Amino acid sequence: MDNSQLRDANNNDKFRSAMKLEQLQTNAAIRGIVPDALVTVVSVQWYGSEALELTYKTASGKVANELLYRHDEARLEVVEQGRPWSFDGDGALFRLVSEAQRIRLAHLFDPVLAVHTSIVDPLPHQITAVYETMLPRQPLRFLLADDPGAGKTIMAGLLIKELVARGDLQRCLIVCPGSLAEQWQDELYRRFHLPFEILTNDKLEAARTGNWFLETNLCIARLDKLSRNEDVQQKLQVPDCRWDLVVCDEAHKMSATVFGGETRYTKRYRLGQLLSTLTRHFLLMSATPHNGKEADFQLFMALLDGDRFEGRYRDGVHTADVSDLMRRMVKESLLKFDGTPLFPERIAYTVPYRLSDAEAALYRAVTDYVREEFNRAEALENDKRAGTVGFALTILQRRLASSPEAIYQSLRRRRERLESRLRELEVLQRGGQTTTILPASLPALDNEDVADLDEAPDNEVAAAEEEILDQATAARSIAELRIEIETLKGLESQALAVCRSGTDTKWCQLASLLSEIFTPAAIGHRVAEPPAPYGAGAIPPPHPFAAPEAGDLHRAPRHAQLSRTTHQHAARPPGGGRHHPWWDRP
């Protein structure tokens, strides 16, 4: 440090040491009262000559006061007499704040800001859903019911990103089936850079405040984790645990049913009612919102507007317009920006076929067995066990519609497992022990559990089906179990006879259709690759044309006729005489 710098430092020390309490005048800017900030003097009240009460105002407008003594003079500094702003702040911080303010107001100048700040190429129906249908609704209570493949996850992400940009969303909860939680998290972060966290037991236990929902603003929760855990629902009902937006994917699972004049509310439906009261914006997403029963549909819509759909539904009396609460677009109406269809046209038709006599007899026998077992299952007092048996019989019906081999293998495995269980029960009975017919390890399923299997991975579904199908029975005693096993033996022998006969009508019909679709005559009108130029490939050996057999005429009649016509014209010279083909020439 040179002499001039030393002099400046000494002068500054003298200036600071010369600061007196008497210099605190109204409108003076003072540094040292509040850390890293200036305050403006409002008034000064002296108490003797050694102390005073300073009333000041901070930059944010807050007014406060403080007692100052002579020993406080060393930490005080008058920036400028009567000047509240010194303009000596950090320019980089000012630029950062101004840029944040510009981004906060960006939606006023870019009406589709979320599209331009996300890694997506939205389609027309996705843009109209977010910016024309959902964003103008304040508050939003809406059902998005577009067909599968329309990109409802993209629409929800655009909506969340747009509400965040407009300052209308800080806390968001997404409720979805368990198998979709990771997919939601990946899509929202990869495409929209939204860091959602998935609710887990570990996070619930490790929460610092005891309530993970209060600590996390962007949450993804599994549907059944919330609907079946009352402790988690109590955490959701904390007064401070409010949400700006709640999104429910596959919302048709939150349905109630009307049966026999009685309304049956499921745990999932109760969860939907709870979530509806905890949020300002409520979005339901489902490709199948209507199950064909208007009463059930109006119960479902009551999650969005309980007043409009209040009361028990009566046919012809209750009619409610839902056009302002939902939007549904089918695949046929989804277009690209150039007006072309997004999905190719679907043409589906049913091909009927008639079962053989043996197959029809097997179908009737298995159907009677399933119907009888269903009736016995409904008579059980245990609803969980009835649901398990009903699920097993439903699997058996699907195997019956698949093929004779499938139903035979299912009947055989079921008979073997029930015989094994019968032997165990007889041994326990001889030992004087009593136990239930169903094994204790067999899962008990209700309607919600069965619905959960639809969303489970394929390997889990297959394992559950095999375990339940082979062991679930409506028998209530050993005698009834013996009778069912004898019935299964008869069905098994009947199915084996059908398999050995070699008649599988369904497969024969399918093979015939495939042969008609993929014959050269059937695909002749389709676009194919241009043929290779002459001589480009290996020359095939000569094969004289041979007429098809009588049994093959129905497969390619047009091809045969064209081939014969071509050879006739090629073989007849202009003079009308006979002309030998090139392979018959000497």
How would DSSP label each residue in 453-520? HHHS-HHHHHHHHHHHHHH-----SHHHHHHHHHHHHHHHHHHHHHHHHT--HHHHHHHHHHHHHSST
Provide the CATH number for the domain around residue 133: 3.40.50.10810
Nearest to 172 by CA among 243, 240, 95: 243
Please indicate, yes or no, whether residues 204 and 259 belong to a single structural domain of this protein.
yes
Please indicate, yes or no, whether residues 276 and 177 belong to a single structural domain of this protein.
yes
Q: Of the spans 206-220, 384-398, 421-435, 437-451, which averages the highest pLDDT?
A: 206-220
Please indicate, yes or no, whether residues 293 and 400 belong to a single structural domain of this protein.
no
Please indicate, yes or no, whether residues 277 and 416 belong to a single structural domain of this protein.
no
Instruction: Determine, yes or no, domain membership for 86.
Output: no
Between 152 and 261, whose confidence is greater?
A: 152
Instruction: Determine, yes or no, domain membership for 301.
Output: yes
Amino acid at 512: S
The residue from 63, 80, 97 where one domain ends is 80
| Total tally of structural domains belonging to the chain | 3
Please indicate, yes or no, whether residues 178 and 254 belong to a single structural domain of this protein.
yes
Residue 122 has pLDDT above 70, yes or no: yes
pLDDT in the model for residue 319:
66
The residue from 479, 503, 527 where one domain ends is 503
Please indicate, yes or no, whether residues 323 and 364 belong to a single structural domain of this protein.
no
Instruction: Determine, yes or no, domain membership for 521.
Output: no
Please indicate, yes or no, whether residues 137 and 241 belong to a single structural domain of this protein.
yes
Provide the CATH number for the domain around residue 25: 2.30.30.30
Between 390 and 159, whose confidence is greater?
A: 159
- Residue range 48-67: mean pLDDT, rounded: 91
CA dist 469 → 263, 394, 473, 549 (Å): 31, 9, 9, 48
Please indicate, yes or no, whether residues 125 and 220 belong to a single structural domain of this protein.
yes
The two structure tokens encoding residue 86 = 């010194």
The two structure tokens encoding residue 257 = 């049913």
Residue 251 has pLDDT above 50, yes or no: yes
Instruction: Determine, yes or no, domain membership for 244.
Output: yes
Instruction: Determine, yes or no, domain membership for 567.
Output: no
pLDDT in the model for residue 184:
97
Residue 48 has pLDDT above 80, yes or no: yes
Q: 295-310 pLDDT, tens per residue?
A: 889 899 999 998 888 7
Instruction: Determine, yes or no, domain membership for 527.
Output: no
- In the chain, the percentage of residues whose pLDDT exceeds 70 is 75
The residue from 300, 333, 366 where one domain ends is 333
- 435 — pLDDT class (breaks 50, 70, 90): low
- Residue range 168-192: mean pLDDT, rounded: 95
Instruction: Determine, yes or no, domain membership for 570.
Output: no
pLDDT in the model for residue 436:
66
Q: Whole-number mean pLDDT of the chain?
A: 81
Pairing, β 29-34 against β 77-80? antiparallel
Please indicate, yes or no, whether residues 320 and 365 belong to a single structural domain of this protein.
no
Determine the length of the chain.
586
Range of the domain at 169: 116-333
Instruction: Determine, yes or no, domain membership for 304.
Output: yes
Q: Report the distance separating Cα 205 and Cα 197, nearest Å.
A: 15
Between 584 and 97, whose confidence is greater?
A: 97
Nearest to 89 by CA among 36, 48, 126, 21: 36
Please indicate, yes or no, whether residues 186 and 46 belong to a single structural domain of this protein.
no
Please indicate, yes or no, whether residues 183 and 244 belong to a single structural domain of this protein.
yes
Find the angle CA(507)-CA(513)-CA(517) to the nearest 5 degrees. 145
Q: 553-584 pLDDT, tens per residue?
A: 334 333 333 333 333 333 344 444 444 443 34
User: Three-state DSSP class for 285?
Assistant: strand
Please indicate, yes or no, whether residues 22 and 167 belong to a single structural domain of this protein.
no
